[in-house]
Amino acid sequence: MSDGPNSNSRRNFLRSSLVLISTATLAGEAPALLGNPRAEETHRFLNESERRFLLAAVDRLIPADERWPGAAEAGVVNYIDLQMAGAWGRGEIMYRHGPFRKGTPTQGYQLEYTPAELFRRSILAINAHFASPAKSFDQLPSEEKDAYLSSLEKGDIDLDGVPSNTFFDFLLQHTVEGFFSDPIYGGNKNKIAWKMIGFPGAYADYHDLIDKHGVEFHREPLSIADGPGYHSMTSTTGGK
């Protein structure tokens, strides 16, 4: 099905001579290489206590390990900050007319809060649960953080009108988005998440490779920002 008459030998060449293109991508990138997560912070929406909570929370949702950084190092909190400051956070990609009523699980999100309001209200309530700033969520040992997040996840806690599982699902969803989306949105710093799984990114012509079954394809992932035509800094609008 390939163009040239020598497609078989091409396939053999590829198999025999080229498996890895970059050993660095396989070995992992030590978390320290991404720098201090507190450096290069964006400050469009989140206040200090919100940011402190989120850094600690996303760090448990997608932790760092010896080989690969986690959500905190990857800039996921910046992602959340920018998203909440933009159209998505403001509720401009949701139908927001009332009346607001509690629905069945199959009817999805029905609260009157925009995503930004949901985050703000929930985190305020969470921070209020802890006795004092000296004992805030971020200062708990890891196991206790995980236990608290699990109870949020189960819906055991009322967050000032927000069912905690609704907030938790939002938080987890945004963490995964921030980790895996294009770095132009503030997360996935240095495309670390893409390197971890082997996703090549925004340049994607596989016409000649798709039928080279089983070949190990390793390429430094490319972001939209790697295109010479891309001029903006991190994007706040989340797409709209």
Residues 176-205 that bind other proteins (CB under 8 A): 176-177, 180-182, 184-185, 193-194, 196-205
Tokens representing 1 are 């099905």
Task: Give every CB contact of residue 132 below 8 A, 6+ residues apart in sequence.
Answer: none
Using CB under 8 A as the binding rule, the residues of this chain from 45 to 84 that contact other proteins are: 60-63, 65, 68, 70
Is 40 one of the binding residues for other proteins (CB under 8 A)?
A: no
Looking at beta carbons only, is 125 or 176 nearer to other proteins? 176
Query: Whole-angstrom Cα distance, residue 185 to residue 188?
Result: 8
Q: Kindly state whether residue 23 participates in binding other proteins, applying the rule CB under 8 A.
A: no
Q: How far is the CB of 134 from other proteins (least distance, A)?
A: 26
Tell which one of 30, 33, 128, 215 touches other proteins (CB under 8 A): 215
Q: Which stretch binds other proteins (CB under 8 A): 31-39, 48-56, 120-128, 213-221?
A: 213-221
For the segment 103-162, give every residue that binds other proteins (CB under 8 A): 103-110, 146, 149, 153
For tokens 């992932």, the residue is 221
In degrees, to the nearest 5, what angle opens at C-alpha 171 toward C-alphas 169 and 175?
A: 115
Cβ neighbours of residue 126 under 8 Å, at least 6 residues apart? Answer: 53, 137, 152, 159
Q: Does 213 bind other proteins (CB under 8 A)?
A: yes
Q: Where are the alpha helices (DSSP H) in 40-94?
A: 48-61, 76-85
